[in-house]
Amino acid sequence: MTRSLLAVLLGGALGTAARLGIDLALPHDPVGFAGSTLVVNALGCLVLGALSASLLARPALPEWLRAGLGPGLLGGFTTMSAVALLLGQQLQQGLLLPAALQGGLQIGLSLLAVVIGLRLGRRIGPGRADARGTAP
């Protein structure tokens, strides 16, 4: 339990720092289009999908590493709260179309990224299994 907590704390710190780096590289207007948030969430979903299919599903993977990579690193990296805040601000200002577009892009691109990540993870994962669950 202590190892998992420490892994989540360390992973979360690293993920948050990486997110800040992207936010600084791709700044956005607080009520405008949040390009950096879109990039962060889509990239995080892609990586989580790939890790889930190739590494995190392995029973032999230590729980602390699973916790550090998933909820820690990628949980600290991605940011649904920033999306919700942005959409709330847009809606309060009556910016219905930008809010709908931003929300649709966030969810749609993130889902697409997870699907692509899962497929990539299955292709590149060592000892991967085919659709029937047997090793190639």
Which candidate, 73, 110, 87, places its Cα nearest to that of 31? 87
Which amino acid belongs to residue 6?
A: L
Q: Is 75 annotated as a binding residue?
A: yes
Q: Return the SS3 of 27.
A: coil
Give the whole-angstrom CA distance, residue 79 versus residue 19.
9
Number of residues that this document lists for the chain: 136
Tokens representing residue 136 in the block = 């190639």
Residue type, 13: A
Point out the annotated binding site for Na(+): 75, 78
State the binding site.
Answer: 75, 78
